[in-house]
Amino acid sequence: MTTLRTAAALTSALALCASLGTAHAAGGDVTVGLQLEPPHLDPTSAAAGAIDQVLYSNVFEGLTRFGPDGSINPGLAKDWDVSEDGLTYTFHLQEGVTFHDGTTMDAEDVKFSLDRARAEDSANAQKALFADIASVDVVDPATVKVTLSKPNGNFLFNMAWGDAVIVAPESIENIKTNPVGTGAFTFSNWVQGDQITLTKNADYWGEPAKLDSATFKFISDPTAAFAAVMAEDVDAFGGYPAPENLPQFEADPRFNVLIGSTEGETILSTNNAQPPFDNPKVREALAHAIDRQAIIDGAMFGYGTPIGTHFAPHHPDYVDLTGNSAYDPEKAKALLAEAGFADGFTTTLKLPPPSYARRGGEIIAAQLRDVGIETEISNLEWAQWLEQVFRGKDFGLTIISHTEPLDIGIYANPDYYFQYDSAEFQGVMAELNEATDPAKRSELLQKAQTIISDDYVNGYLFQLAQLSVVKANLVGIWENSPTQATDLTAVYWEE
Partner 1 sequence: MPTAKLSRAMLFGAFLSLLFISAALLSFVWTPYSVETLDIANKLQKPSAAHWFGTDHFGRDIFSMIMVGARTSIAVALVAVGIGMLLGVPLGLAAAAKRGGLLDEMIMRGNDLVFAFPPLVIAIMITATFGPSATNAIIAIGVFNIPVFARMTRGAAISLWTRDYVLSARVSGKGAARISLEHILPNVANLLIVQGSIQFSVGIIAEAALSYVGLGAQPPIPSWGRMLAESQTMISFAPHLTVFPGMAILLTVLGLNLVGDGLRDYLDPKLRRSKT
Partner 2 sequence: MLRYTLKRLLSLILSLLVASLVIFAAIEVVPGDPAQYMLGINAQEDTLNALREQLGLNQSVVSRYFSWVAGMVQGDFGVSYTYRTPVRDMVAERLWISLPLALYALALAILVAFPAGILAARKRGSFLDSTVMGVTQLGVAIPNFWFAMLMVLLFAVSLRWFSAGGFPGWDNGFWLAMKALTLPAIALSLQQASILTRVMRSSLLDTLSEDFVRTARAKGLSTGQALWRHALRNAMIPVLTIIGMQFSFLIAGGIVIENVFFLPGLGRLIFQSISQRDLIVVESVVMILVFAVIMVNFAVDLAYAFVDPRLRRRT
250 near partner 1, rule: CB under 8 A: no
Q: Is residue 379 near partner 1 by the rule CB under 8 A? A: yes
* Of 224, 273, 294, 334, the one binding partner 2 by CB under 8 A: 224
177 binds, among partner 2, partner 1, none (CB under 5 to 8 A by kind): partner 2
393 touches partner 2 by CB under 8 A: no
Q: How many residues bind partner 1 (CB under 8 A)?
A: 28
Distance CA(190)–CA(139), nearest Å, equals: 38
**Is there binding between residue 294 and partner 1 (CB under 8 A)?**
yes
Residue whose CB is less far from partner 2, 32 or 97: 32
In the bound state with partner 2, the residue whose beta carbon lies nearer, of 125 and 339, is: 125
User: Rule CB under 8 A: is residue 383 a binding residue for partner 2?
Assistant: yes
Element (H, E) at 399: strand 397-402
244 binds partner 1 (CB under 8 A): yes
Task: Report 92-121 residues binding partner 2 (CB under 8 A).
Answer: 120-121
3-class SS of residue 261: strand
CA distance 195 to 180: 18
The single-letter DSSP state of residue 161 is S
Q: Could you tell me which of 112, 67, 116, 74 has the C-alpha nearest to residue 93?
A: 74
DSSP string, 186-252: EEEEEETTTEEEEEE-TT-SSSPPSSSEEEEEE--SHHHHHHHHHTTS-SEETT-S-GGGHHHHHTS
Element (H, E) at 51: helix 49-55
Query: Can you tell me the distance from the alpha carbon of 192 to that of 177, in angstroms, rounded to the nearest whole number?
Result: 10
Position 366 contacts partner 1 (CB under 8 A): yes
Q: Which of the listed partners (partner 1, partner 2, none) does 359 bind, with a CB threshold of 5 to 8 Å by partner kind?
A: partner 1
Q: Decide if residue 39 touches partner 2 (CB under 8 A).
A: yes
Interface pattern 128-157 for partner 2 (x via CB under 8 A): x-----------------------------
Quote the CA–CA distance of 27 and 32 in Å, as a whole number: 16
Q: Which does 173 bind (CB under 5 to 8 A by kind): partner 1, partner 2, none?
A: none
Residue pair 61/75 in contact by the 8 Å Cβ criterion: yes
- Partner from partner 1, partner 2, none binding residue 365, C-beta < 5-8 Å depending on class: partner 1
Q: Which residues, in sequence order, are CB contacts of 387 under 8 Å at separation 6+?
A: none
The length of the chain is 495
What distances in angstroms separate CA 410 from CA 132, 216, 324, 372, 418, one per listed residue? 17, 33, 21, 31, 10
349 contacts 397 by C-beta, under 8 angstroms:
yes
220 binds partner 2 (CB under 8 A): yes
* β-pair type (88-93, 77-82): antiparallel
Q: Kindly state whether residue 369 participates in binding partner 1, applying the rule CB under 8 A.
A: yes
Q: How far is the CB of 225 from partner 2 (least distance, A)?
A: 9
Give yes or no for residue 370 binding partner 2 (CB under 8 A).
no
Per-residue string for binding with partner 1, 143-172, x by CB under 8 A?
------------------------------
Report helix, strand or coil for 96.
Answer: coil
**Judged by CB under 8 A, does residue 222 bind partner 1?**
yes
Report the chain's C-alpha Rg in angstroms: 23
396 binds partner 1 (CB under 8 A): no
Give, as ranges, the residues between 286 and 345 that touch partner 2 (CB under 8 A).
none
Alpha helices in 345-437 (DSSP H): 355-370, 382-385, 423-434
Binding residues vs partner 2 (CB under 8 A): 39-40, 45-48, 120-128, 176-177, 191-195, 217-221, 223-224, 226-228, 230-231, 233, 381-384, 386-388, 390-391, 404
Binding residues vs partner 1 (CB under 8 A): 221-223, 226, 230, 242, 244-245, 247-248, 294, 297-298, 358-359, 361-363, 365-366, 369, 377-381, 383-384
